[in-house]
Structure 1
Amino acid sequence: MRAAVLDAALAALLEHGYDGMNVADIARTAGVAETTVYRRWATKADLAAAAIGELAVVENPLPDTGSLRGDLRALLAQIMALLRRPEVERLARAAVALAGDDPRRSEARTAFYRARTAGSATVAVRAIERGELPAGADAEAVIEYLVAPAYLRLLLTGGPLDEVLLDDSVDRTIAAFAR
């Protein structure tokens, strides 16, 4: 049931965007009652965040190469590959559009961002445990620092999501946070 609803929600987001996403249609597509959807996801924003989060988890399994540099490089390479997909770029732009004055939209954006950053922060936590990062390092800040240039290029500057950006982002993140 959960997978069917999230698949239907993601399809609706990709096709219609957040504003065109309709919980009743998603429930019908997933073969469940609308009340079933709302029992698990209290708002449309919660459902949208969960669907986008599921896409990120499926498309970006958490790397474990044994080194901070390897993990950061693998993680950012996955994220950049995902961001290069036109339908994902539309979702990223839609997430930015969720930043308006509507608190429900802001909640959806924040829920997705926190879930994604917290999951990816495991890479930094492992690096702290291995001694590659200092004990006081903020694991979520490491991930924010790593991915911010890619999102900046995608959403604002239009620069390429290329190997140069990948290598520079990893090098700068390590320089900023490592011992």
Structure 2
Amino acid sequence: MSDAEQAGVSKRARPGGRASQVVAAIYAATLEILEEGGYERLELPEVAARAGVNKTTVYRRWPSKAELVLEIALLRVRQDVPLPDTGTLHGDLSKLMLTIAATLQSPLIAGLLQAAMTQGNGIEAINQARIQFWSERFTVSGQLVERAIERGELPTGTSPRQLLELACSPLFFRSVVTGEAFTKDEIFEIARRSILAFKSA
């Protein structure tokens, strides 16, 4: 993990004394392991060892690695995927998609996707963490659709979530299924077609 990332994680965990320092150390250790070996390599006892804490400290707050990764991912995505405001829907959506495409290349987000899709089905805490993560992301990103409606770029009643799902699903498909990257031109075109689909609906 880079010095900047460690500083960012530590800054978010303060203030709060010893407890916040322990959380910051656990976050940092988790990111290091994800970067070294990905989600499959991540094990909570090793997280505890690297963080210099007893493993019961980790298990008490995060009974599974999926819960830990989802929590850190939500914090990181808040920081790494800001809401763009270019003045146009196509500009906003394209910029958001470019940021998402770049973020999907990180080991942390790869771990998030694996946790979100394959881990903890039927485990309430993990289900709730997933719901919280995606609900917050759609609420925040949906503001760019709401602004477009106010500007008259989209019809009243356009669903922000449906538009975002249409535009962003190809990014996640390539990241998870094919492992291929998008070019900027491809992203601009997907954004254009997604907007057009809702304009003509």
**Aligned equivalents of 2:126 and 2:147: distance in 1?**
31
Tell me how far 1:24 sits from its aligned partner.
4.8
Tell me how far 1:124 sits from its aligned partner.
1.6
Gaps of at least 5 residues in structure 2 are 1-19
- Does residue 103 in structure 1 map to residue 122 in structure 2? yes
Letter in 2 for 1:78: T
**Aligned equivalents of 2:107 and 2:164: distance in 1?**
23
Match of 1:87 among 96, 107, 123: 107
Q: Counterparts of 1:27-176 in structure 2 under 5 Å?
A: 27=48, 29-30=50-51, 43-83=64-104, 85=105, 87=107, 90-91=110-111, 94-95=114-115, 98-99=117-118, 102-104=121-123, 107=127, 109-176=130-197
Preserved contact between residue 99 and residue 109 of structure 1 (Cα < 8 Å): no
Closer/same/farther in 2, CA of residues 74 and 19 from structure 1, 3 Å limit: same
Per the normalisation by structure 2, the TM-score is 0.67
**Aligned equivalents of 1:116 and 1:23: distance in 2?**
26
Q: Tell me how large the CA RMSD over aligned residues is.
A: 3.4
**Aligned equivalents of 2:160 and 2:60: distance in 1?**
32
Give aligned pairs, total.
Answer: 177
Instruction: Indicate the percent of aligned positions where both proteins have the same amino acid.
Output: 34
Letter in 2 for 1:54: L
Tell me how far 1:50 sits from its aligned partner.
1.5
**Aligned equivalents of 1:25 and 1:19: distance in 2?**
13
Match of 1:10 among 31, 35, 52: 31
Closer/same/farther in 2, CA of residues 177 and 38 from structure 1, 3 Å limit: farther
Larger-gyration structure (1/2): 2
Per the normalisation by structure 1, the TM-score is 0.74
